[in-house]
Structure formats: structure tokens, C-alpha cells
Chains A and B, each alone.
Chain A
Amino acid sequence: MPKRFMAIWFCYLKTDWFIRRIPVLQDIPFVLSAPDHGRMVITAVNPLVLSQGIGTGMTVADARAIISSLQVMDDQPGLSARLLKGLAEWCIRYTPTVAFEEPDGLMLDITGCAHLWDGEKQYLAEITRRLNHFGYDLRAAIADTIGTAWAIARFGKDSSIIEPGRQTAALLPLPPAALRLETTTIERLEKLGLCKLSNLISMPRSALRRRFGQCFLRRLDQALGNEEELIIPIHPIEPYQSRLTCLDPIVTATGIEIALQRLLDDLCLRLQKEEKGLRGALLKCYRTDGKIEKIGIGTNRPSHNSRHIFKLFEIKIDSILPAPGIELFVLEALKVESVLPLQEKLWENTGGLDNIGLSELLDRIGEKIGVNNIHRYVPDEHYWPENSYKLASSVNEVVQTAWRVDKPRPLQVLARPAPVEVTAPIPDYPPMIFRFNGKLHKIIKADGPERIEQEWWLQDGQHRDYYCVEDEEGHRYWLFRSGHYEVDKLYQWFIHGFFA
């Protein structure tokens, strides 16, 4: 069967996508920009901007000189590849063989597909219409060869469907650039005045080879159909999911457990092979009455340990109401991350947070008392005591800085310093006695002061002079005076923590 290809060219791929997300941009001149050698260079423009003569490659400053109201957004690296991949996957509904090429094109092998839409014209119209509806501006063309379809989509004038075998005629009036050549070759051809393929096709092949190389002839042959060209289609990712249908509806907890176990074994095997682990999973139970029962779990680190995941689910199985019975189980991994394969160690004694046993324990406790009730604190680089630690975002967050040990800090810190009454000699001696919670403490030893200033970029206020003090009973406390000792100013003493 003769091959047929369809090329799609997204004229404003990236800006159209931005407009899709932020509809007000439709009527605003805006560009995307990325830093290049210290300057901000435009990487994509919308039609409004283009009509004012601003194109890609210009610096933002120059463009702003022309359109002062120009909106500039940050380009995202890899955006066009991501978008094209998504669009390519979407196009699989029209043909199984779809490829994308950066920066802005799709190539569909539509051999034997178009008749399902009543012919190529309707096929092309349908795809164009649907994509336009998404907000993408595009040009598409169908031809016998990849090269011709590509050329017609971008440079074609008349018809966008080239009848089988007619590609030579269609190519003749096009410029050499339509052949997907290197810029230097195109420039040279233009300089030689060879600005149509018709000038070139008639030339002796040897003359062309001598000047423009074999690559040029290959491109020409590919477009004309004299040489075959392949596309590398994308494969959509299969979702991490496993299903289990039951002949008889399941109504017992044991039945559910068995089903879950099988699904888990299945899914975990696949994850293990792909060196992946799940962070969250959802079990959906489809009941015969059409209702769906769901239970979900989460883990602290990616896991493909089916025993462990089973344990997490196990607690929740009771909450499933099988009622008339469950006929289908679906287990879905909601979030999948890659795990490095671990070598089994003979002596697992590293402890610490890398320990899988620990994180699995945390998972299990978390499922019982609620994940939000387990906290981990990590050091934060601040002198101000209240800011010197912070809540970790996850159990395995990597600590950026070590805990400081060069300055004495109490084991127990009060969330909010409590005021105390003191008797202290001025100017900056430690207190002699202080009263806290009604109890009088006589200080026999003290060290300090350590003066810590406000972090002025966060808040205003007085600095603190911290003292470590020990009372008669040998208890040690962390006291501070807020503010300077000068008499005419207000200052106040506080207790901020307890040493062992």
C-alpha cells in the first residue's frame, strides 16, 4: 500500500499554549523570553507582536523599545517538547504512528487511516478543527512523502493535500528551505539566485553534489519519494494500574485481602523491573450495584515492597463496604518515583533516615495517627533562635546545614519565651535571681551575654542578650533580656529554654 503522511505545523505553539492557560493574553502583545549570554532573548511571540515586526531572537529590551506595553513571560525549558509530546499522544486517536519534531511540528503516518473519516479531506479538516478548538493555530498537509508533507505545511500555497504521485509538481514552486536543509546551504542557494526548487531539480546531480553535498540530494530524494524515510513514533506510557475481575462478587474481607495481595504483587513486580516505587496508591472496588469503594495510602519514600504496602492497606480494609459484592478491583499507583536498587546488606546497622525499616514504620504509624501528626525538625541557618529550626517537608529531606554545636542551646525550647522577673545588676551582668512560674531561682553560675540582633529583613524590634544560668539545684536555664540595659529604655527578661 502506498504510504501517506500528514505534517502538522503549529505556528505559535508556545504562545498559543500560554493563551490557553491565561485567556486574557489573547489580546495582549506578549512574548516568551529566556536568558542567553546575559541578555533576555525572545524565544516565542504571539501574532499580535509578530505583526509589529518583532520576531524571535530579538532582545527583550529592543522589543520593549518598540512596544512599551509588551508583556514578557519566562519561557520554560523543554516546553515545546513537552507540548508536542502531549499533542502527539492525543493524535494517536487518528493513527497509531505519530512522531513529533521540535520545535513545532508533528508527523503522522496516516496510511490506511483516512478512509475511516470518509477520506483525507475530512480527516484533515477534522484534526485541524479539533486542534484549532484547543486554541492552536496550525497548518497541515498530506502527501506521499514526509518531506513533501513537511514542505507543503510550511510553504505550500494552494492545496494542502497532494494527490498520490504529484509531489514533484507540488515541490517545484517552493523555496529550497522547504527541503529541511542546513541554514548555510539555504543561504548559499539564495545567494546563487536558486530560490525555487524548480531551478534545482533540473540541474545535473553531479553539479549539485559537488556543491551542496550528498545530504542535499538525500533530502531532495526523500521529498520526491525516491528514497524512503522513516519516522520514529512515540509510544504512550501505560499507566501503573492493575485490574482484577472476579467471576463471583466478593463480599468478605479475606476475599478483598486476597485480591489486594494479587494486585499488589502484580504492580510491584512491574515497578521493581522498572526501578520505580510508588508514593501513593488507590484501591478501587467496583460493586455490582455500580458504586465504587476506594481506599488510599501514602508512603514516605517510593516503595515496591508489596508486603509493606499491603500492611498499610490492611488497616483500612475494614472500611470497605462490599454490600452486594465487588466484581472488579483496580489498583492504581497515584505517584511513582524512581528508586535506586539497593544492594542487600548483611549488617544493616546504618540507622538514620536512610533506613527503609524506619520509613516503613513511619508509614505505618502515619496511617494510624495521621501523617500530619508526625513532625521532623531540621536546622535553618538563622541566628535568631525562633528561626534557627524549621519543619522538614518530608522524612527524607536532605539537611542543608548541620545543627550548630558551637553555641550552647537548650534541649527544650519554649515555643514562646515566657516573661520572668529578675534581679540583675546593670549594665550587662547576668541576673542574680529570677522568678518563673511562681518559683524563685537563685543563680549561682552564669555565662554570657550572647547578643543576637533582630533579622531586620523579617521583623523589627530589640536585640536580645542571652545568658545560660544555673540555679542552686543545679538546673540550667536559658534566659534573655530583650532590649538594651540603658535605664531609660524599656527592657524585659524572658526564659526561653531548659538545659538538661
Chain B
Amino acid sequence: MSYTELQVTTNFSFLRGASHPGELVEQAAALGYSEIAITDRNSFAGIVRAHVAAKKNGIRIITGCRLDLLDGLSLLAYPTNISGYSQVCNLLTTGNRRAEKGECHLYKEDVYHYAKDVKFVVLPPGLNGLFDFEPSFSNALAEYRAIFGNDLYIAASRLYNGDDSKYLYRLAQLSSQLQIPIVATNDVHYHEPARRQLQDIVTCIREKCTIYTAGYCLHPNAERHLKPIKEMLRLFRHYPEAILRTQEIAEACRFSLDELKYEYPEEITTEGRSPQEELDLLAWQGAKQRFGEPVPEKVVTAIHHELDFIGQMNYAPYFLTVHDIVRFARQQKILCQGRGSAANSTVCYCLGITSVDPVKFDLLFERFISSARNEPPDIDVDFEHERREEVIQYIYEKYGRDRAAIVATVTQQHQKGAIRDVGKAMGLSVDTVNGLSGSVWEFTEEWFEGKRIKEQGLDPGDKHLRKLLQLTREFMGFPRQLGQHTGGFVITRGKLSDLCPVMNARMANRTCIEWNKDDIDALGFMKIDVLALGMLTCIRKAFDIAKENCGLDLTLANIPQDDPAVYEMICHADTIGVFQIESRAQQAMLPRLKPTCFYDLVIEVAIVRPGPIQGDMVHPYLRRRNGEEPVEYPSKELEDILGRTLGVPLFQEQAMKIAIVGAGFTPAQADELRRSMATFKAKGLVSKFEEMLINGMVQRGYLPEYARRVFKQLEGFGSYGFPESHAASFALLVYISSWIKCYYPDVFACALLNSMPMGFYQPAQIISDAIKHGVNVRPVDINYSIWDNKLEERSGSHCSIRLGLRQVKGLRQDDINILLTSGKKMYSGINELRDINLPEATLEKLADADAFRSIGLDRREALWEISAKDRPVALFSGQPSADAKGENVSLPVMTPSEHVVHDYAATSLSLKAHPVIFIREKLEQLHILSTEQLSALKDGAFVKVAGLVLVRQRPGTAGGICFMTIEDETGFANLVIFESLFEKFRKEILQSRLIMVEGKLQIEGEVIHVIVKRCYNFSSLLRILTPTNNENLPLLTLAYPDEKSVPPGLNKKTQIKENAPEKIFPEARNFK
């Protein structure tokens, strides 16, 4: 006689189960089970993982779930075949869709509606004080029995509650009375008894209590583990038929997820063609458009080759689906750009999915799609971030809510969250929990061994703490909730809810499925990534502006390629605002790498990444490129892989190919390796692969040193993988944005400002950069500005930019629309603005932004006018009020520096002057140089330089080094602060708005760095910009003999934060 466990709760019943599906399956296999069921609460979320694990372990999963009903007894449901499975999926979908995200509201009626081909097991409650079931239970049972007939069973468990014999006896009574057979289960919540502790903890987290106050929320014992079959047989020795029933159900429920067959949607073909024929047609049409007739020989061969391959793999519907979405975007004038493994093919170029010309680029198609892995191709499409929702809604519209949905992401419990949750449940104080989680930087064994913890003043030998760490370690990686993937779509031919349950997403008008992308991959479903990219918005806006102001009709494809002037500009690192290569690290790399062709840009994009940096690949590449080191290959086979990058692996594909070719990995293994890096470095998997890779390479005659470097690089790729195909797509946008910046800096700056927030820099830097390129920038004004920044008439070689009202902090677009649509061309007085019902607060904000110049008022005068609460009405509306004339008040005149401070306060930038200019004299007295002067000096010179702090950056790859960018009226300077000094000057570095540093100049070609030796906080100098604070602050006096140092006026009530001028300047951005 055998037994099958039919009630298994995994940790995908969030905060209920305490074991991963995989663990349960492995345990079941080890105990000799030939199949177990997975029954999570109202969900199939964990089922794919269990299915994959079961296949690996050679056992079978009975797909099932536990239905918790709002108006009835809970049921376990097991579909017997694929149509039953669809029934349950639709049932869950119904429940999900009517509830908030994360909940499922089901009623008995729903279950009755979807009950065909499903076996049900009802979960009985406990006995009452009279050792019997409540009559309501038998009534409910009778109702179920009437509906479900022979498909209904009653679950019986022996959980050592003290009354097990009575309980089973009563169940048996009921069973024979109502003719519902009983079936044995053990209500499994964890795979081994030791997990009971973690189960208690997750219960506490769920009930929001501590283990000390949880009381009866917990289970009294540890019996809910997967028990050996023999033990289950013993427990139910008096009820052998209950055991037999498990076999009966297991036998009946033969459904396996393998039966699910993904089918591409139908709507993608026209005129009755097959997908392949349709693709053929479109590809050749596109080729003629792109390349003109006759299509070049090389292209023809490539297309033939690719189409054959696509036909052989049957991928045509996939390409057509992507094409359909892209076509819609193009119709709506939404810019898009494909990337990913298949996106850089000739076919994709012909279909318009990508604008990277594959002929020039020379990427081999098979490099991206490996037929060996037989994985669906992968194309991610980036859309303008402001308009991506339109595309998403198009997909929903076209395929319907029931056929398209977003893939889920399983939010996993990360270390900090885990320690926090477990700590709280274990009753630690908030401070201790913070201290503990604060001591975690990275998941390391060292941390679990308690070395780090000692630094927090906690005793690592403490039993309680050890328990906490052990539980934390187990808890890490638990799924916590289902989130929404950033844009991965699943589209099907039939109803999606026949394949898997669909649920509401947190955002309105979105629906997702319960499975994440790995699950989808495992089942072979197609997924299309519809992603958002800010730069595309910027480029589209630039195209629009160029069309309007310069009469140009630009597209991603028609911008002249390989323009030397553009590369020249890039080589000089003149790339503020440009896509990807604008960061400080990229800017430092550009003059060294000197890109001169498109492929150089591809490399540039990929090289400044954690992977190559951690793998120490950057410097070898630069040396080889500059001819300082011979280009050599460790072996002939690697020459094929590394030829394009001078023998240095820079791309993710290369590293994986090396694993395959160099270390003898199978493609699947290589992929698993990459994935294991990406998810968790836990569980010792990494070291297994490390050994495998290094041994493999050494066996094939590579140096262990080289093998180790490859491995390190793989590690880096794990978390921030950057494949060549992505780099190529990005490089195109790099080129396009550079081209616009090079030829139309006015258009570029204007579009960039209108797409904010994005990128690395603040509007002030974008504008000062535009001014540097000869663009005239004009201030915001109520009579000239609109909401967006716009171009005005030509002055000099470029158009002037008129700043838009969007630059003013705190204005609402709705209010500004009142101003713009009032019908009045020119406003001549503030009362006119009042008459169109512009809110007071808006007027005040406009005054703060100094937008009344065109009616002859500066900000102070305007504010004085605005603050008067009464205004002439009726006949006199629009006139200045009578009182005002008699007032004859003279306000203090604002100094230019004061204006600048207020400009910054209102718009974070000033066109009047740079703040540092006002203190230049003081700085000169201290022999502090301007940033411009630095370039005239020699390498190694000792300098003092000061500026506003723009960016602070402490990348994880730089070993504690802090990079800073400062700005003064002449330009930028890059500072490098080593770790030891960072600790010493931490306060200055983190607090200063205006910083002064002393240090050594390091000049390497065009790249200038200041290696900092000392830092000073000069922020207080900014105070002299406004007269308020230096004159009228009550200074420290000795009025009271024994007075200590009282900071005058530093009272919450009396001190207004905003008025400290050094605080007005935008806080520098911090990057990790």
C-alpha cells in the first residue's frame, strides 16, 4: 500500500508555508513518494517551480490548490485533466479579478460553476465541546455532496491534537452517513520538523506579533512535516481506506503542466497567410524599403539564412507579434527601439524593430539564438517612457484582457528584510534590529559567523542571536509577494486564464499572471518585454522640436551615420546629457578609448560596467587598443570569440562562450551559471561552478590565473549583465543623441529639459552646457514662457531657448494652463492675472521665479503687489488698487547675488550668474583656483579648488573610493577621495554644498582629476550672498556672564529652513 501527500502548503502561500516547493519535492523524493500534490492558498504561484523540481527528482506533481472561500468550507481542488486545470485557473482568475491585488475573493457559487473535471477534498473544522461536529458542518457537507457527487472527499489528519481518535471516529461516521469517502492528509507546511521554528516565525510576521505574544496563533507541535510513508500508514492503520483514497485521487489526477501548450496569437497574419509566409513577405518588403532595390547581395543572403532558421525553429509568430506592437508605436509616432538576443538581426532591421544596421554591424544571427537551448528568442522593446502606457493599453485592447497580461516578479526576501522581519518576530527592539540590519552590507558567511555583529556591540555567542541568524539564513530567499514585471507581456491565442490564473496588478488597468519569467521560460511561453526608456522620450521631443523650428524631418534611421564631427565631440568627453556615456566614469573613459566608429560606442557602453571592471578587463583592453600591449589570444578557439574585442572578454555572451568553449560547459550549464549568479550567491552553488569552470579551463590548457579572471568577470555579469546585443542597441541611441547634441545643441538641451527628470545631471548643468555651446537661454516669463521649454527665434548660429514654467518648483500644469489659455496675448499687470483666477499660490511661485520682468516688476516688487489681499473688482478690475498709490513704500533693492540665490530657490538654476562668482574674490585671496585654471597646470601640481558639489559617487566596484564632481562658474572638476580620507572628511564630503579641497592634480591626456588630500566645508561662504543672514542674525553676545554657547535664533519656530542660503543650492546627487 502506498500513500500520496495531498495537502502541501509551500512558501508561495505567503507567510504560511515554511519550505520552498523545491525542498518539499526533494524531501518527498527522498522519502520514496512517487508523487505529491501542491496546494497553495488560492494560488498556482509555486506550481511551476515544484513541477521543474519534480522533473529533476523523477517524481510527479499533482497540480492543485487550496480554495479558501468567503462563504463556505475550504476545499482542496485537484484538476484531473487539462480542461479541469483550465476550470481551476478560470475560477482563481474570477476570484483575483474581483479583489484587490494579493487577495482572492471566492464564493461557493464560483466553485460550483467551475467544478467539472476537478476532484475536491473538503477540510473539516475541529470538534466542539460535545466531541461532535457542529450541525452546520454536516449541512454544508451535504450541500457539497449534492453538487460535487463522487468527486468529493473529506480530509482526515492526525496531528496529535489529543482528540485524534474521536475526531477520526466522527469523521468516519459522517463519511458513511453522507457517503463521502475520507482521505488521509498530513496538512504539510514544511518539509522537515526542524522548519517548524521558521513556520512559527512566519506566522508571527503574518499576525504582526512577536513569538512571545503569538500564543495560540502558532501550532502546538511540529507534526505538519512530510512524514515517511510507513509512518502515515501506521497513523491511519484503523482507516486503511483513507490511505487508499489518496491513491485513487493520485491516479485520477494525471494532469501535468507539460500538457500546457503555448500558442501564438492569430491576429498577426493577414489575408490567410501562414505566419512564416507573412514574415517572408514583410521582411522582403522591409528590405526593399531599407536598402533600396536591388537589395544588396549580402543582405539577401542574410535574410534567407535568418528566415530559414526562423522557419526551422518556428519562431515566425514571435517576430510578427513584436512587429505588430512596433508598427502600432510607429503609427502613433512613439519612438521605439528593440534590443535583446534576436533584435539585432537583419529581419528585425527590415521589420523596423531595430534601427541598428546589421550589415555594418556584422553580428552573426546564431550568436544570439542558440538552437541547442531551444529557448524562445528574446526581444525587448524600449518605448518612450512617457508614452509606454499607450502601447500597453494597445496590447490589452488588441488581444483583450483575457489573452494578454504582464508577467509577475516574485519579490524575494532579501537579507535586510529577512533580518528585520525575523528580528521583529523574535521580539528584538527596533534599535537592535536596525543595528543588525545596518551591519549587513553583503551576504557573507562572515556575517553569519558573527564577526560583523560584534562590531554592533552584540554578543555573537548569545543563543538567542544565533537562533535569529540561523532563522534569517533559512528565511532569505523566501517569496514575499508577487509584483509586476517592468513590462514583460504574455499573449496567447486562447484565453490566458485557461493556462494560468490572472490577477489584478497594483496599478489600475493592468493585469498580471502569477508566474514569473523563469516559470514562463520553463513552460516555453512567449514573453515580450515592453520597456520604458527616458532617452527615447527625449529623442522624440528633439525630433519634434527640430521639425517645428528647423524644418528637419528626423528619424532614428535617417540620421547620417559615422559622422566624424560627432565622434570628435565624443572623444573630448563633451557628452553632458547624452545617453549612457554622460556619467563621470564614462566621461573619464572616453578620451582614453577615443571612439571613432559605431562598434567603439558599443564597447564604450559595455566597458564601464561592474562586470569588466571587477574582472579587471578594462585596462588590458585600453592598452591593447593603444598598441601598448600585443593583441594575443590564449588559444585559437578563443580568437573567434574574442577577436572583436582584441582578446579581452567584455560582453556577457563572450564570457558565457568561454565557459562553453574553454571549460566545456553545456549551453544550459552556462546559462544556469549566469542565472545562479544573478539570483542568490547563497547555497554554495557559486563555488561549485567556480571549481567546474576553472578545472575545465585548466584541463584545456589555460592558465589558472586567466580562468580565475574569467570567473570573476562572470560574477560581475551576474548582477549587471550587459550583453553585446543590448550594447549595440544602446550604442545607436548614444550615437543619435550625440549627433543631435553636436549639430543642434539648442534642440537637444530643450528636449532634454522637457524630458526631465532623467539622466545624471540637473537642469542647471544642462543649461550651462548649452550656453557653453553658444545657445542663448532666456529666463522664465509670464508673457513668453509656456509650460515646456521652447525654442525662440534664431540668435547667432542657434535658436534661443526660452525656459518653460515647468522649471519652476511647485507649479501645477493645470494652473499654468489657465494662464496660457486665457486668450490674452500680453499681460501688463498683476491684477489682470488675478482676474483670470490664477491661484494666489501660483502667483507667488511665479514671483519667486522672477517671471514678471516683462511687466516691469522684479520678484520683490511683484511679491509686494501679490501679497496685498484685496483687489479692485467690477468696474475697476484690472486696475491697480487705490490704496497702493498712497502706500509709497520702498522695498530694499535686491543685490544680484541675492537674485541668484532666489533663482536657485525657485528654479534650481540661475541665468543671471553662477553663485560661485560672487565669492570668487574671497577664493582668490585664499589662492583657490577656478576649475578652468586646472587644465593649464602640470600633472602632479598641488592645487586648491572650490565649487558646488554636484555628484557624490561611491561605486561598489571602486573599493571605497569616493568620486565627486564640483562646479564653479568656469566649469567642472572631478575629485577622487580615497577610502581612508573619506572616513576622515566624511562630514565635509557629505554635508558641503560648497566644498574646497586641496590635493594633487592628475592629468592623463584630457582627463583631469584632483586627488584630494584635504576637504573643507565652505558652505558658510554662501551666506554672504544674501544680506539677511549676515546682518540680522543675533550674534553671540556676552550679555550673560555664565552663558554657554547659545546658537542664536536656532529655534524651530523662529528659524526657517529655506532661508539659509547655503541650503537653497540643490543637494548633490548621491550614487552608489
Contact = CB atoms under 8 A, between A and B. Distances in A.
B1056 interface: yes
A210 interface: yes
Interface in A207-249: 207, 210-213
Interface in A377-396: 380-383
Interface stretch (B182-190, B669-677, B801-809, B1037-1045): B1037-1045
A104 B1043 CA distance: 17
B289 interface: no
Interface stretch (B136-144, B156-164, B477-485): B156-164
Contacts of B864: 192, 211
A47 B1044 contact: yes
Contacts of A206: 883, 887
Given A157-B1035, A408-B162, A207 B889 contact: yes
Contacts of A163: none
B218 to A, nearest CB: 8
A191 B1046 contact: no
Given A57-B1057, A177-B1056, A211-B868, A155 B1048 contact: yes
A439 to B, nearest CB: 26
A405 B131 CA distance: 12
A466 B869 CA distance: 82
B892 A194 contact: yes
B848 A191 contact: yes
Nearest to B214: A381
Contact of B222 (A158, A180, A453): A453
Interface string B156-196: 00001111011000000000000000000000000000001
Contacts of A457: 200, 211-212, 426, 464, 467
Most A-side CB within 10 Å, residue of B893, B1034, B1037, B1047: B1034
Interface string A165-194: 000000001110110100100111011111
Contacts of B1045: 47
Interface string B990-1028: 110000000000000000000000000100000000011
Nearest to B215: A381
A201 interface: no
Contacts of B331: none
Interface string B198-227: 001000000000011111101011110000
Given A174-B1034, A187-B1059, A449 B162 contact: yes
Interface in A114-156: 125, 128-129, 132, 137, 139-140, 154-156
Nearest to A52: B987
A452 B1059 CA distance: 65
B442 interface: no
A355 interface: no
A452 B216 CA distance: 12
B1058 A187 contact: yes
Contact of A188 (B218, B867, B1032): B867
Given A139-B1043, A177-B1056, A192-B860, A65 B990 contact: yes
Interface string A88-126: 000000000000000110000000000000000000010
Given A67-B987, A175-B1032, A211 B215 contact: no
B234 interface: yes
Given A50-B1050, A465-B160, A160 B1039 contact: yes
B1054 A178 contact: yes
A452 B220 contact: yes
A56 interface: yes
Given A53-B991, A156-B1034, A11 B129 contact: no
Interface in A21-60: 47, 50, 52-53, 55-57
A207 B883 contact: yes
B1047 A196 contact: no
Most B-side CB within 10 Å, residue of A128, A154, A174, A466: A154
A40 to B, nearest CB: 8
Contacts of B1054: 154-155, 175, 177-178, 186
A160 B1056 contact: no
A158 B1037 contact: yes
B234 A195 contact: no
A494 interface: no
Interface residues of A, number: 79
Interface string A450-484: 11110011000001011000000000000000000
B1049 interface: yes
B1049 A427 contact: no
B1028 A155 contact: no
A72 B1046 CA distance: 22
Interface in A259-300: none
A137 B1044 contact: yes
Interface string A404-420: 11111000000000000
A66 interface: yes
A375 B789 CA distance: 79
Nearest to A53: B991
A11 B1046 contact: yes
A453 B1056 contact: no
A451 B987 contact: no
A86 interface: no
B420 interface: no
Interface string B525-539: 000000000000000
Contact of A453 (B196, B860, B1053): B196
B161 A450 contact: yes
Contacts of B234: 427
Nearest to A74: B431
Contacts of B1037: 156-158
5 contacts: A57-B1057, A67-B987, A103-B1053, A157-B1034, A457-B200
Given A103-B1053, A194-B892, 13 more contacts: A11-B1046, A55-B1050, A67-B987, A68-B986, A103-B1052, A139-B1046, A154-B1034, A174-B1032, A191-B848, A207-B883, A450-B162, A456-B196, A457-B212
Interface of A: 9, 11, 47, 50, 52-53, 55-57, 65-68, 72, 103-104, 125, 128-129, 132, 137, 139-140, 154-160, 173-175, 177-178, 180, 183, 186-188, 190-196, 199, 203-204, 206-207, 210-213, 380-383, 401, 404-408, 427, 447-453, 456-457, 463, 465-466
- 4 closest A-B pairs by CB: A381-B215, A450-B162, A451-B160, A193-B892
